[in-house]
Amino acid sequence: MIDTPTTRRAKHPETGGERPAVLECRDLSVHFDAPDGRISAVNGISFDLHRGQCLGIVGESGSGKSQTFLAILGLLASNGHASGSVKLHGEEILNVSRRRLDAIRGEKLAIVFQDSITGLTPHKRIGEQLAEVLTQHRGLGRAAARAKVLEMLELVRIPEAEKRFRMYPHEFSGGMRQRVMVAQALLCQPDVLIADEPTTALDVTVQAQILKLFKGLADHTNTALVMITHDLGVVAGLCDEVMVMYAGRVVEHAPVDELFYQPRHPYTRGLLACMPRADRDSEELTAIPGQPPDLEALPPGCAFAPRCPQAFARCEQERPSLQTARPGHLKACHLEELP
């Protein structure tokens, strides 16, 4: 058992014993074969996910967030390779047959992507597409599927659901399409729902509404939720715990409040310092100086060293491993304690 915030808090309410995880990911790595060599996109990720839990995955673009979960879903590009172990209800699902994965996806694991239109077929009416999820995966008849879809459209607050049922994706606004995607993902009541930057393309108010709705529905169905985002602000109100990724590795993993109030990794601190705040002018908004490293030529030591304000000699030679900073709080940094 790894010492993550999840495993620490995952006591069974009645027996007090360990509650089994819905999803157990151990030492997951992903690499891609590229013309100039091998790209190490994800390295040694481990976490547990329990029913009703919301896990945030945060990091700059290119840090390996999407590939981690695409690997879990068996959706890597053809030049991608995954290793390690991923168990869903105890069943190994990493690198299993396409047939098995097709059965698992949609029923037990679902994903919502950022670009909502790509998930919907343009020439099919919305209602028909949603009903198919139920007729194909749940074996429902047409009338029952239609009734369930209408109920779900109302749940995700799509006005005039009856009318919208017969409309095509392009007739919906971005925000409405995204609601449809949320409805589609939740229709089969998956055990794990992965939201990969689902609202990034939408304006801030619509984003907040949809994320809240998402979380509410997941809570209602006891679905485990993974919220992938480059925006720490998103995880604050929604997630129970957060994994911060940098250059394909987890650099910090902690309960959400601890991450915000007692961050232990200089990269997390950098991300927090970049967050917009009411007491700060938007002009003062900063980004962490420098760029993430080239994944084909990762430095031997800490990948964050070239950008870290606290780097010292050891950082350039030795890669810090992910270790317990305090019970349930992991960090990968050589600094004993941050000031």
Ligand X SMILES: Nc1ncnc2c1ncn2[C@@H]1O[C@H](COP(=O)(O)OP(=O)(O)O)[C@@H](O)[C@H]1O
Note the residues at the interface with ligand SF4 (CB under 6 A): 266, 302, 304-305, 308, 310-311, 315, 320, 333-335
Least distance in angstroms from the C-beta of 30 to Mg ion? 13
Q: Rule CB under 6 A: say whether 56 interacts with ligand X.
A: no
Phi then psi dihedrals of residue 324, to 5 deg: -75, 120
Q: Rule CB under 6 A: say whether 64 interacts with ligand X.
A: yes
Exposure string for 111-138, b = 16+ CB within 10 A, e = fewer: bbbbebbebbeeeebbbbbbbbbbeebe
Integer distance in angstroms from the first to the last C-alpha of the chain?
31
Least distance in angstroms from the C-beta of 252 to ligand SF4? 10
**Which residues in this chain contact Mg ion in the complex, by CB under 5 A?**
66
Least distance in angstroms from the C-beta of 42 to ligand X? 7
The span from the CA of 313 to the CA of 301, in Å, is: 10
For ligand X, which is the closer residue by CB, 114 or 178?
114
Which single residue brings its beta carbon nearest to ligand X? 66
311 binds, among Mg ion, ligand X, ligand SF4, none (CB under 5 to 8 A by kind): ligand SF4
Least distance in angstroms from the C-beta of 333 to ligand SF4? 3
Site size for ligand X, by CB under 6 A?
16
Site map 68..97 versus ligand X, x via CB under 6 A: ---------x-xx-----------------
Per the structure block, which two tokens stand in for 322?
A: 């992910």
The span from the CA of 111 to the CA of 225, in Å, is: 10
Q: Rule CB under 6 A: say whether 34 interacts with ligand X.
A: yes
- Which of 23, 39, 188, 332 lies at the binding interface for ligand X (CB under 6 A)? 39
Cα 231 to chain centroid, rounded: 12
Helix segments in the chain, DSSP class H: 5-9, 65-72, 98-104, 126-137, 142-155, 161-165, 174-187, 204-221, 232-238, 256-261, 266-274, 313-317
Least distance in angstroms from the C-beta of 263 to ligand SF4? 11
Identify residues 100-119 at the interface with ligand X (CB under 6 A).
Answer: none
For ligand X, which is the closer residue by CB, 248 or 320?
248
For ligand X, which is the closer residue by CB, 60 or 241?
60
Instruction: Dump the DSSP string for 228-263.
Output: EES-HHHHHHH-SEEEEEETTEEEEEEEHHHHHHS-
The span from the CA of 177 to the CA of 182, in Å, is: 9
Per the structure block, which two tokens stand in for 307?
A: 């950008």
For ligand X, which is the closer residue by CB, 61 or 97?
61
266 binds, among ligand X, Mg ion, ligand SF4, none (CB under 5 to 8 A by kind): ligand SF4
32 binds, among ligand SF4, Mg ion, ligand X, none (CB under 5 to 8 A by kind): ligand X
Identify residues 262-321 at the interface with ligand X (CB under 6 A).
Answer: 295
Sequence-distant (6+) residues with CB within 8 A of 230 are 58, 59, 60, 61, 65, 197, 200
User: 3-class DSSP state for residue 51?
Assistant: coil
| Binding residues vs ligand X (CB under 6 A) | 32, 34, 39, 41, 59, 61-67, 77, 79-80, 295
